[in-house]
Structure 1
Amino acid sequence: MTKNWQGYMVRALLAATVFSYAATASVAEEKKLEVLHFFTAGSEAAAIGVIKDAFTAKGYGWVDLPATGTDTLNQVLRSRVTAGSPPNAVLMHSNEVKQWVDQGALVDLSPIATKGNWDEVMSKGLIPHLKLNGSYYGVPTTVERTNWLWYNKKVFDKLGLQPPTTLDEFHAVADKLKAAGVIPLAIGGVNWQEATLFETVLVAVGGPDFYRKAIVEQNEEALKSETMIKVFDEFRNMNKYVDPNYPGRDWNIAAKMVMTGEAGMQVLGDYVKGEMVLANLKPNVDYGCAPPPGNAQTYLSVSTAFVFFKSKDASVEAAQDALAETTFDSTVQLGFNLKKGATPARTDVDSAALDFCAQASYKAQVDAASHGQAFPAISHFEAWSPAKSGIFMDVVSTFFEQPSMTSKAAVDQLVTGLKTISE
């Protein structure tokens, strides 16, 4: 998306939110909530509809404010907060909750959490992001694995291919796809998509311990090591398997390329499967899911959560409580994630209702956590602050799209950029 077009979209959404705010205030029904979110792809919209339908069935109103991506959402949110009229409910990545807690802007959900026994039933990896200073400030919608390899099963079967488990196997498979006239790797030239692919290469080259040191611990020696240079070298090799039209492509368009057989593989999160579910495709029949090469023992994840901005209106506060309870209801969690293609944020949901890929994701999460190899993803703002994540993604994206940039230069730029952020 160009900056001019993005700017237009921000202005349009701001105008829409002002209109909806005024319209809402004029309606006799006082229980409407403005809900700002970035779930706009087909499967995401279907998933958010599960929460909306359950919420409105309780007699509340939902004013939908969809933003085209997190960048647009954050611009709109900051503008609304500055204007003194924040949306009532906002969907954001779990790691972004803290910045708003620090500003004292969010509703304390502890009474709802205590009533719902969140400490016991919430996925343990989410609690540190959502329970801050002893209180809950966000209610999760999902847990998503970001390091997945999706492939067109029928194309693979026709060519006698198996999902690659090593980088060498990946290159062999990609070369065979290319020789058959199939784009080996579908991707969008957008920084977070490129960064998601990069993270899987980092795990494959350096292993889970290196990911822990370089990413989780932000160890400078690891970040500027020869291993990191090798990661960038291997990441460069991935570029020869993408098509020339990849810049600016949305992730769901890349997913459609795999679904139709135009492309053979895509490396991205659980949400890709949501698009396949929406198209009535079947796992292990039309498409397959597997860990990316070298990622079998490692689980990289992202989660999203609703937060609620403080209001002086008692009817709004009651509706916010109702939406928090609705979002974390076990039936809603299951319905949402069946549409989204991910796994519920509750540990007490019957996994038998999930499909093959979702069950595999759930099992991978449990197994990786038991071995200390479950980590947050930077590409989805889960491991680092938004500022540091932005630097990481910009360096990775620039490197992927500019062949003249060396791996050493990318590493130096990353290390230098991170030093400019004081936290």
Structure 2
Amino acid sequence: MTSTRTQRFGAIALAAAAALAFTPAQAGEVEVLHWWTSGGEAKAAAALKITLQKGGHRWKDFAVAGGGGDSAMTVLKSRVVSGNAPSAAQIKGPSIQEWAQEGVLANIDDVAKAEKWDELLPKVVSDIMKYKGSYVAAPVNVHRVNWLWANPEAFKKAGAKLPTSWDEFFVAAEALKKAGIVPIAHGGQNWQDFTTFESVALGVGGAEFYKKALVQLDGATITGPTMTKVLETFKKVKGYTDKNAPGRDWNLATAMVIKGEAGMQLMGDWAKGEFVAAGKTPGTDFVCVAAPGTAKAFTFNVDSFAMFKLKDAANIAAQKDLAKEIMAPAFQELFNLYKGSIPVRLNMKMDKFDDCAKASAKDFVDTAKAGTLVPSIAHGMAVPSAVEGAIKDTVSQFWNDDKMSVADAQGKLAAAARTK
């Protein structure tokens, strides 16, 4: 299961719904497929439900358990094939275009134009929400993936300084190891391996290399000397994890940093929810900095809802209101305050957000302008799912198999990139 779907949100006050009120032109029903079924995730869905019901629409919950969304996609396919699609479904990344190619998604350009989405979203994000130039999905949030989380007390004990480069990272890791602290907390799932890998790739090779190798899947770049260095650095990180890492969940790795058992973790901003839930304060009890070498870049993971073609006029009106409210400032603020992510709108006030979120929001804007805002391949934003799975498997094989050479890994990556 991917990390973005396992956060804790905290309680969402019903009173906030008043701030989200709107008046629909025609009351209808919205059936929304999602896999936010755990305690905190269910509250996120509830925030959207309250928003729609406040305006007179009926909300029909179509929740399918399973954090990765695989079960939900199986159910969705059967519904669509039988001509009974929901109003909206939690779909993200290239999967949006895959569904649109089937001719089942609705054009919501009228909502996007009225609400000025093209002005409010970075182009790299809005392009993912479109098919052949038209909006077919609404983005909910942005998670930054390339974060390094650190325990300042552990660093103090080790006499180490926070790293800004991979060379500095290994100096700090060595100091932590000598102090009897696990340098890097890590878990055993392949998406965790790949989250680390893409941060290494971005930090070692830079945004242009990342785009060529992991988004455009350029064979020469994948088999070239920069990727060799990336893989060597990635494998070196493994040496600073502990022997109990295989099979460990990401949140248990975060707990090691919270307790001071480990000094660092490479993980997206959903990790912040674990620190906050443990009563820790950003900047004091824990530190969030960009992964080594990636301060001027940003790997994003955006949750979104794709809109399906409907026939009933009232339900179509309700669907359009759903799309509108997902991008409205009040909902963007409410939802993201509890999810640990940041608003996807570029002009949002961040007064109520913590320092990590404020830093993330600033970097989101800056990297969008600089062209260094890149999609996370580890979290389903960059390439078709079949290619993603093949590359993910190769990266984990290399991470776990000490006998696999860097050259072998590059060859396997190149082959995985050609997966159809």
TM-score by length of 2: 0.85
Matches within 5 A, 1:30-109: 33-39=30-36, 44-59=41-56, 60-65=58-63, 66-109=65-108
Q: Distance in 1 between matches of 2:373 and 2:138?
A: 21
Alignment RMSD:
2.4
Query: Does 1:219 pair with 2:218?
Result: yes
Corresponding residue for residue 229 of structure 2? 230
Partner of 1:171: 170
Q: What SS is found at the alignment partner of 2:274?
A: helix
In the alignment, which residue of structure 1 is the partner of 2:326? Answer: 327
Structure 2: which amino acid aligns with 1:233?
E
Equivalent position SS for 1:52: helix
Closer/same/farther in 2, CA of residues 409 and 135 from structure 1, 3 Å limit: same
**Per-residue deviation, residues 276-323 of structure 1 (Å, max 9, x unmatched):** 334442111121100111112222112121112223344443332232
> 1:392 is matched with which residue?
391
Residue aligning to 1:361: 360
* Aligned match of 1:414: 413
Give 1:399 deviation, angstroms.
Answer: 1.2
Q: In the superposition, relative to structure 1, how do residues 195 and 322 fare at CA in structure 2: closer, same or farther (>3 Å)?
A: same
SS in 1 for 2:344: coil
The correspondence of residues 291-306 of structure 1 with structure 2, limited to 5 A, is 291-306=290-305
8 Å CA contact 2:95, 2:385 repeated in 1? yes
Q: Percent identity?
A: 39
| Contact 1:38–1:70 under 8 Å retained in 2 | yes
Alignment match, 1:23: none
Q: Which moved more, 1:125-134 or 1:195-204?
A: 125-134
Determine if contact 2:157/2:179 at 8 Å carries over to the other structure.
no
SS at match of 1:351: coil
Query: Which 10-residue stretch deviates more, 335-344 or 366-375?
Result: 366-375
Deviations 1:68-97, CA, capped at 9 Å, x for gaps: 213343333334434544443211223321
Change beyond 3 A, Cα 1:178–1:42: farther
Over 3 Å counting, the alpha-carbon distance change for 1:138 and 1:72 in structure 2 is same
Aligned equivalent of 2:131 = 132
Q: 1:217 to 1:183 in 2, by over 3 A?
A: same
Q: Of Structure 1 and Structure 2, which has the larger fraction of its residues in helix?
A: 1
Matches within 5 A, 1:174-253: 174-253=173-252
* CA contact 2:138–2:306 (8 Å) conserved in 1: yes
Gaps of 5+ in 2: 2-26
Quote the residue 1:263 is aligned against: 262
Give CA deviations for 1:191-250 in whole Å, capped at 9, x if unaligned.
Answer: 222111101111222233322332333221111112212211211111122233333333
The structure-2 alpha-carbon separation of the partners of 1:221 and 1:134, relative to structure 1 and needing over 3 Å to count, comes to: closer
Aligned equivalents of 2:381 and 2:136: distance in 1? 16
- Asked if 2 retains the 8 angstrom alpha-carbon contact of 1:43 and 1:274, the reply is no
1:7 corresponds in structure 2 to none
Name the SS of the counterpart of 1:94 in structure 2: coil
Q: Provide the C-alpha distance between the structure 2 equivalents of 1:107 and 1:281, rounded to a whole number of angstroms.
A: 43
Superposed displacement of residue 417, structure 1: 2.5
User: Residue 396 of structure 1 contacts residue 410 of structure 1 at CA under 8 Å; is this kept in 2?
Assistant: yes
Structure 1's 85 and 244: CA in aligned 2 closer, same or farther, altered over 3 A?
Answer: farther
Q: 1:37 to 1:266 in 2, by over 3 A?
A: farther
Shift of residue 350, structure 1, vs aligned partner: 0.8
Q: CA 1:243 to 1:39, structure 2 compared with 1: closer, same or farther past 3 Å?
A: farther
Structure 2 counterpart of 1:58, one-letter code = G
Whole-Å separation in 2 of the counterparts to 1:253 and 1:214: 31
Q: State the Cα deviation string for residues 100-127 of structure 1 (Å, max 9, x = none).
A: 1111111221222223222222333211
1:133-172 superposed matches below 5 A: 133-172=132-171
